Amino acid sequence: MTRILFRNAQVVLADSVPVASVLVEDGRIIDVDASATAAADRVIDCDGLHLMPGVIDDQVHFREPGLTHKEDLETASRACAAGGVTSFLEMPNTKPPAITVEGVRAKESIAAQKSRVNYGFYIGATPDNVAELNAATDVPGIKIFIGSSTGNLLVDEQAALERIFAETTLPICAHCEDETTVRANAARLAGTTDITDHSRIRDENAAVIATRRATDLARRHKHRFHVLHVSTAAELPLLADPSPYLTAEICLHHVFFNVDDYPRLGSRIQMNPSIKTKADNDGLWQALLDGTIQVIATDHAPHTLDEKAKPYPESPSGLPAVENSLALMLDRVTAGRCTINQVASWMSDAPARVWGIVGKGRIEAGYDADLVLVDMQQQRTIRDEEQHTKTRWSPWHGETLTGWPVATFVGGTQVWSSQAGFDETFRGSKLRFDHSRGGYWGTMDGIGPAQ
């Protein structure tokens, strides 16, 4: 047995931040109020540091297989570790897309060899793969693209959507932008090379129509559904009516950037769904604070700077974010915009509960020791050239933040620290999913350890 004692840390629990010592044995937390002199093989002095549950990013695009010139599971997971992200859930729109059980298992096999952190992979829906969706086990859920996507992943016909919601049991998430609206706007603005038109083509109406359609399906079929990357305040009334079937998330770019930033950042903030207005920034932030939205994710989707430099609309949508997401939120804690407990809820506990990720998301006895040590006094400036993501850039280049992760632990193993760098030998594990526990609304006290 291996024991680690995190001594005298400011421990981020669900509703408090006591100074305590946390004891870990063989990768699992066994005591959150241990004696400061408890016997251990390694003692980590955490005086002045916060100990948080590791971040779970439930929406990433790590590009492997098929697009590894942009990113791969090794470079992306290193970026995760350096950013305090201990688990990720990756989307199916790779090449080939993960639309079969075999395709998902192939990605898990690559991750087992490459990933520095824990991993899970969604299975993608097509208009005619319900049998594969029902055959999938031990995956976080089903991803539907209700809006433009690659290959045959677009599911826009109502009959196909009804079939997926009616005939499958895994929780579903979706990219919600109405294809008809997007195409009509694109036709109206045909020939534009103005990057700001991206937010006119993928406008508020496209998001609202698709989100209304998807949430109606979820309510009628009583099927658990998670709205990905809510981008506009106009979607919030569709989520405000409490439902045991609905959860939602925001991504950081939809809170930190708006259309006024296009002249400064151009295609670096070109995203699908698009960046919206300052009023939308404020509305989404308030929705986090009041609980209308439960999860923060990144939609990490890197492209090379050469690709992003192409004239619009040839420039692709997507940006890298995993290694700065926690620091961006800790900076908001420093600014008094939220509490560190709320950050842990939005980025760790809530995604674990939404997707039934066993033993993750909290610092409690019995949970896995996926942990992040944070220095809330540390100031650092985000620099393109210092990024671990393969594309080596960030839309937040030049931003100075206060509050940074300084060490990341996966299953009790230190996989990265600001002083020692990476553990090059460690590999993360496939996440365990238990959808029978009821999702977010059925696990108010956390998803809990393995039963």
**Residue 269, pLDDT score:** 98
Q: What is the pLDDT of residues 319-369, one digit of tens each?
A: 999 999 999 999 999 999 999 999 999 999 999 999 999 999 999 999 999
Residue 1 has pLDDT above 60, yes or no: yes
**Residue 243, pLDDT score:** 87
Cβ burial of 357 (10 Å; 0-12, 13-18, 19+) is buried
Q: What is the pLDDT of residues 393-424, one digit of tens each?
A: 999 999 999 999 999 999 999 999 999 999 99
Residue 149 has pLDDT above 80, yes or no: no
Q: What is the pLDDT of residues 361-371, one digit of tens each?
A: 999 999 999 99
Average pLDDT over residues 26-36: 97
Place of tokens 């006591």: 18
Strands 172-176 and 400-410, bridge-based pairing:
unpaired
Q: What is the pLDDT of residues 73-99, one digit of tens each?
A: 999 999 999 999 999 999 999 999 999
Residue 151 has pLDDT above 60, yes or no: no
List the domain boundaries for the chain.
54-363
Per-residue confidence band for 51, with pLDDT thresholds at 50, 70 and 90: very high
Task: Tell which residue, 448, 248, 284, 225, has the closest CA to residue 353.
Answer: 448
Per-residue confidence band for 237, with pLDDT thresholds at 50, 70 and 90: very high
Cβ count within 10 A of residue 426: 16
Residue 451 has pLDDT above 80, yes or no: no
**Residue 242, pLDDT score:** 74
- Contact 199/255 with Cβ under 8 angstroms? no
Distance CA 307, CA 316 (A): 7
Residue 11 has pLDDT above 60, yes or no: yes
Distance CA 148, CA 282 (A): 27
CATH superfamily, domain at 54-363:
Metal-dependent hydrolases (3.20.20.140)
**pLDDT > 70 in the chain, percent:** 98
Per-residue confidence band for 163, with pLDDT thresholds at 50, 70 and 90: very high
Task: Tell which residue, 214, 250, 252, 213, has the closest CA to residue 232.
Answer: 250
**Residue 241, pLDDT score:** 81
Q: Dump the DSSP string for 247-262.
A: EEEEETHHHH--GGGH
Average pLDDT over residues 276-293: 98
